[in-house]
Amino acid sequence: MSAVNETLIRDIVSEVLGRLGTPAASKPAAIAAAPAPVPTSGNCGCGGASSRANGSGFRGRFGVFQDAAEACLAAHESFLQLQQKGVAARRKIEEIVKTLAEKNAAEWGRIELEETKIGRLDHKIEKLQIIKLVPGVDWIRPDARSGDHGITLEEYTPFGVIGAVTPSTHSIPTLSGNIVNICAAGNAVVFNPHPSAARCAATAVRVYNEAIYRETGIENIATIIEKPSMESFAAMCQHEAVRLLLVTGGPGVVKAAMQTGKRAVCAGPGNPPVYVDDTACMKRAARAIIQGASYDNNLLCIGEKEVFALENIADKLMSEMERNGAVKLTSSQLEALTKAAFTFKEGQGGGCAHASVNKDFIGKDPSVLAQAAGIALPPGTQLLFAETGADHPFVEEEQMMPFLPIVRVKSLEEGIRRSLDAEHGYKHTSIIHSHDVEAMTAMGRALDTTLFIKNGPCMAGLGLGGEGYLSFSIATPTGEGVSNPRTFTRVRRCVMVDNLRIY
């Protein structure tokens, strides 16, 4: 018999015994029930002597597990409990995660930065404060039909356990937003986090589960593999309790998830191009570009990564960028930075096709890049930029640094063509600054990206300064778009045949 079936049967037996009034059904049923005292967060209890002692046999506590299979099984048990406790428990989980993300933003932002050493503290904190913008339980509404033949209800029901992979670029924010989305839809989740951002992720998981347990009696609604590896990724993907995958990361993990044979929602890489024409407001465009490209030192997958500027406004745009605090590099400074920020395959002489990003520069402060370029920056500089050719490594590679290459183009057609090349068919994000509706339409059609932002910074695409809602997982290659609770549901139809109309 499979482990999942065993768990299922154990639950059914427990339920039946409970109805018969025997003590075996001591699992908490009421939302407010707290069946056991909650230890302090210092007690990780993730194995060995500190194992959980309340009878389920899992060697992990409050979501933090050493073993992938146990993390999956514990999440499955919690899913069954969530089913019993209904929508009220889902709402409680959403409220807890949103409240705790905001309350702990400063501390969690700090520990994430300390662990990953990429990005900016102010933005790490902000990314947690805005978890409240992630859609939750209210997103799940059934569709109903009624007619001469009866009534039909299409309901968005959970899968069960979702296996999720999170990136190093926003570990706790992605995990938090994923929990809100996934649990709002009635699922549990198990995380295989990025190894270089796993400690902070486990801290957040433990804090969330402690509070959720206290309020709902469910202990492991979001579990995490404390020391993730390729093996734990494979074990999580293969586990029979895991019904759907959600991966947020670069090309490697997207490919790996698609090869598992399980359905995968893939939030993959991007390299968002920006096109600026001569109808745009240069001041506004410059400010928006700086705001977006400097956010968290350009770690956002939606962040502006290269700019194609119509040649008759390129100088004006660059002047406005300088006026608004960005610093322009000379060609020799650009050359020095390029040599440091990329590694080139031997014998290729720096050709862009053979360049790869030097990880030591990803998400680093502008001052680090400036040092490599051989200049000192005025305090408070958020972004560097330089004029480059269209085939420069900074254009071609998803570089994730607070530096923007600016490329002159002769026409809208050239701007679109070069944007298409730079985007590499990821269909992730593209941006235009223009007041020419035809140019917008032409670029929107040609690029066909999941997010297409006009006259704003990239964040406007996620509800920050633009209309819409937030998620840190934007499913690009698999097409689900900005993820939300419905992304993690199955559609089930419930039909009653009869003359039931009352009008």
Widest pairwise Cα distance in the chain: 81
477 near ligand NAD, judged by CB under 6 A: no
Beta strands in 47-126 (DSSP E): 60-61, 64-65
Q: How many CB atoms lie within 10 A of CB 28?
A: 18
Per-residue binding letters, 395-434, with ligand NAD (x by CB under 6 A): ---x------------------------------------
Q: How many helices (H) and strands (E) does the chain have?
A: 15, 21
253 near ligand NAD, judged by CB under 6 A: yes
Q: How many CB atoms lie within 10 A of CB 329?
A: 22
Closer CB to ligand NAD, 229 or 312, in the complex: 229
Closer CB to ligand NAD, 169 or 291, in the complex: 169
Least separation, in Å, of the C-beta of 382 and ligand NAD? 20
Least separation, in Å, of the C-beta of 230 and ligand NAD? 6
Least separation, in Å, of the C-beta of 453 and ligand NAD? 15
Among 78, 178, 248, 333, binds ligand NAD (CB under 6 A): 248
301 near ligand NAD, judged by CB under 6 A: yes
Among 195, 351, 389, 479, binds ligand NAD (CB under 6 A): 195
Helix (H) or strand (E) holding 342: strand 342-344
Place of tokens 């057609």: 413
* 171-184 vs 198-216: helix crossing angle, rounded to 10: 30
295 near ligand NAD, judged by CB under 6 A: no
**Pairing state between β 60-61 and 64-65:** antiparallel
Closer CB to ligand NAD, 104 or 473, in the complex: 473
Label residue 400 exposed, middle or buried (CB < 10 Å: 0-12, 13-18, 19+).
Answer: buried
Among 187, 291, 382, 476, binds ligand NAD (CB under 6 A): 476
Closest among 57, 72, 63 to 226, alpha carbons compared = 63
Per-residue binding letters, 3-32, with ligand NAD (x by CB under 6 A): ------------------------------
Closer CB to ligand NAD, 266 or 432, in the complex: 266
Of residues 341-400, those binding ligand NAD (CB under 6 A): 398
Least separation, in Å, of the C-beta of 177 and ligand NAD? 10
Of residues 43-102, those binding ligand NAD (CB under 6 A): none
Closest among 268, 245, 174 to 479, alpha carbons compared = 268
Closer CB to ligand NAD, 123 or 194, in the complex: 194
249 near ligand NAD, judged by CB under 6 A: yes
By rule CB under 6 A, what count of residues binds ligand NAD? 26
Of residues 216-235, those binding ligand NAD (CB under 6 A): 230, 233
Of residues 149-188, those binding ligand NAD (CB under 6 A): 165-169
Angle at 470 between CA 88 and CA 227, to 5 degrees: 80
Angle at 200 between CA 198 and CA 206, to 5 degrees: 100
Closer CB to ligand NAD, 387 or 397, in the complex: 397
3-state helix, strand, coil split of the chain in percent (to 5) is 45, 20, 35
Which ranges of 259-330 does DSSP label H, i.e. alpha helix? 282-294, 314-323
Closest among 303, 278, 301, 279 to 289, alpha carbons compared = 303
Q: Which two tokens stand for residue 207?
A: 């804090």
- Compute the distance between CA of residue 120 and CA of residue 382 in angstroms, rounded to an integer: 10
Q: How many CB atoms lie within 10 A of CB 117?
A: 13
From 51-59, 67-75, 267-275, 432-440, span contacting ligand NAD (CB under 6 A): 267-275
Strand partners, 158: 489
270 near ligand NAD, judged by CB under 6 A: yes
190 near ligand NAD, judged by CB under 6 A: no
Q: Note whether 35 and 27 are within 8 A (CB).
A: yes
Least separation, in Å, of the C-beta of 130 and ligand NAD? 15
Least separation, in Å, of the C-beta of 490 and ligand NAD? 22
Least separation, in Å, of the C-beta of 332 and ligand NAD? 30
Beta strands in 46-149 (DSSP E): 60-61, 64-65, 143-147
Closer CB to ligand NAD, 28 or 193, in the complex: 193
Binding interface with ligand NAD (CB under 6 A): 165-169, 193-195, 230, 233, 248-250, 252-253, 256, 267-270, 301, 398, 472-474, 476
